[in-house]
Amino acid sequence: MLDAHTDANAHATVKPGEGRLAHAAPDHPPVPRARIGVLLANLGTPDNYDYWSMRRYLNEFLSDRRVIDYSPLFWQPLLQLVILTKRPFTSGANYKSIWNHDKGESPLMTITKDQTAAIAAQMQESFGDQVIVDFCMRYGNPSTESKVRALVEQGCEKILFFPLYPQYAGATTATANDQFFRALMKEKWQPASRTVPPYFEHPLYIQALTQSVRRVWDAMEEKPEVLVTSYHGVPKRYLLEGDPYHCQCQKTSRLLRESLGWEKDKVVTTFQSRFGSEEWLKPYTVEEVARLAESGVKRIAVVAPAFSADCIETLEEINEEIRESFEHAGGEQFTYIPCLNDDAAHIAALSAVIRENLQGWIG
Ligand SMILES: C=CC1=C(C)c2cc3[nH]c(cc4nc(cc5[nH]c(cc1n2)c(C)c5CCC(=O)O)C(CCC(=O)O)=C4C)c(C)c3C=C
Ligand SMILES: [Fe+2]
Ligand SMILES: [Fe+2]
């Protein structure tokens, strides 16, 4: 039987067994076998930690109005003339302290590659060559546009776009989707597309988080008294304007706590990475860990459920700055629980989310 391509282009033929057009008519472009693409998307990361790499990356990131929604007339002069003259140096130094020097890339990049390879292996097992798995970044490289192009070139007539953020935020999920839609606008033969909704309630994601906390707890002789969940913050105004991120973070903490079987006061929800002078979601992690220490709590563990991969915000901000805040205020034992990264339970959870969202496209 002819496949969908040859039905649509009846004057072209497929070589049996190869699934590709062996020879198209001279006035017809080659048409690859129809496939499905799964495109994982994360935030992005600088190509290097030098001033210009940092400036390029931060400029793209901080010019995104989904991230910072001030009028460009006000924001762009401030960004170009003040923030981007200083921040590339300080952020560059932070990136240098966590850089994967062996591979010449940031941890977020290395981990995203590992996640992609592990998920690709799972999809290969379920669907063979029919599904192609790849990843892209919202800012920097590899760009969303280049990866959509590559998938279309490989014959993907359908693309499932998966922003790797368990909780929805306009500043992350929506802007990743916007970039995907912009890329689709450039395709002559536009693939059918779906975007994966937030998965913070997925039982396998909660289970993976639970296991990661339990693993650390079980390995410790002196158990932490409190588990601090630290989510990346956003301006409080975004919540008031209807962004569900805050509620989805609160619910994630509750589901994790219930799954651990712990009392309410053993898990504290906080928000990190405040930027600028506006009020952000509270309590701020850096202040809350100091408050805990001042109130007599000696041992805490911190987990960051909003990050699917360890990155500057976890490895540097939590494990260095926030740790320092706790210890400075009298805390004695600070344990950082790594992100789910390419943990087998995480890969199983993400693969389950993908399979569920492929339903109707593939058996
Ligand atoms: C300035 C506003 C910012 C908002 C709003 C914001 C939301 C937000 N970000 C993440 C996840 C990540 N952010 C990362 C880095 C990062 N974030 C901001 C600013 C905002 N983020 C900056 C300026 C930076 C760069 C680092 C720095 O200069 O401090 C990263 C890490 C990237 C890496 O390469 O390691 C992630 C991941 C979420 C989930 C979120 C809102 C929900
Ligand atoms: Fe951020
Ligand atoms: Fe809320």
Ligand 1 contact, 89 CB (< 6 A): no
pLDDT of residue 2: 37
- The total of structural domains in the chain comes to 1
Report the C-alpha gap between 55 and 242 in whole angstroms: 31
Query: What average pLDDT does range 13-35 have in this prediction?
Result: 65
pLDDT of residue 312: 97
Ligand 1 pocket test, pick from 232, 277, 285 with the greatest ligand atom count within 8 Å of Cβ, gives 232
Query: What average pLDDT does range 24-47 have in this prediction?
Result: 91
> Which tens digit of pLDDT belongs to each residue from 276-287?
999 999 999 999
> Which tens digit of pLDDT belongs to each residue from 241-271?
999 999 999 999 999 999 999 999 999 999 9
pTM assigned to the model: 0.93
DSSP 3-state percent helix, strand, coil across the chain (nearest 5): 50, 20, 35
330 alpha carbon, distance to own chain's centre: 33
- The ligand minimizing its distance to the Cα of 311 is 1
Q: Where are the beta strands (DSSP E) in the chain?
A: 13-14, 21-23, 35-44, 131-139, 156-163, 192-195, 226-232, 267-272, 299-303, 333-337
Domain for residue 57, yes or no?
no
Domain for residue 173, yes or no?
no
Ligand 1 contact, 43 CB (< 6 A): yes
- C-alpha 172 to ligand 3 mean position (Å): 17
232 annotated as a binding-site residue = yes
- C-alpha 44 to ligand 2 mean position (Å): 10
- C-alpha 262 to ligand 3 mean position (Å): 21
- C-alpha 244 to ligand 3 mean position (Å): 7
Domain for residue 296, yes or no?
yes
Report the C-alpha gap between 113 and 246 in whole angstroms: 29
327 annotated as a binding-site residue = no
| Residue 272 pLDDT class (50, 70, 90 cuts) | very high
Query: What average pLDDT does range 166-195 have in this prediction?
Result: 98
ipTM above 0.90, yes or no: yes
- C-alpha 245 to ligand 3 mean position (Å): 7
Ligand 1 contact, 95 CB (< 6 A): no
Domain for residue 321, yes or no?
yes
Domain for residue 19, yes or no?
no
CATH number of the domain within which 309 lies? 3.40.50.1400
pLDDT, the chain, mean: 94
pLDDT of residue 228: 98
Overall size of the chain counted in residues: 363
Report the C-alpha gap between 89 and 231 in whole angstroms: 25
Report the C-alpha gap between 290 and 266 in whole angstroms: 16
124 burial (CB, 10 Å; 0-12 / 13-18 / 19+) is: middle
- C-alpha 330 to ligand 1 mean position (Å): 29
250 alpha carbon, distance to own chain's centre: 18
Domain for residue 91, yes or no?
no
Domain housing 223: 203-337
Ligand 1 contact, 164 CB (< 6 A): no
> Which tens digit of pLDDT belongs to each residue from 208-238?
999 999 999 999 999 999 999 999 999 999 9
Ligand 1 contact, 165 CB (< 6 A): yes
pLDDT at 131 over 80: yes
The closest-lying atom of ligand 1 relative to the alpha carbon of residue 167 is 42
Domain for residue 255, yes or no?
yes
Helix residue spans in 201-331 (DSSP H): 203-219, 236-240, 245-260, 285-294, 323-328
pLDDT of residue 16: 36
Contacts of 31 (CB under 8 A, 6+ apart): 5, 9, 12, 21, 24, 155
Report the C-alpha gap between 327 and 331 in whole angstroms: 4
Ligand 1 pocket test, pick from 87, 312, 316, 319 with the greatest ligand atom count within 8 Å of Cβ, gives 312
- Cross-strand bridge partners of residue 270: 230
Report the C-alpha gap between 93 and 56 in whole angstroms: 16
- The ligand minimizing its distance to the Cα of 172 is 1
Contacts of 177 (CB under 8 A, 6+ apart): 161, 163, 195
Domain for residue 112, yes or no?
no
The closest-lying atom of ligand 1 relative to the alpha carbon of residue 317 is 29
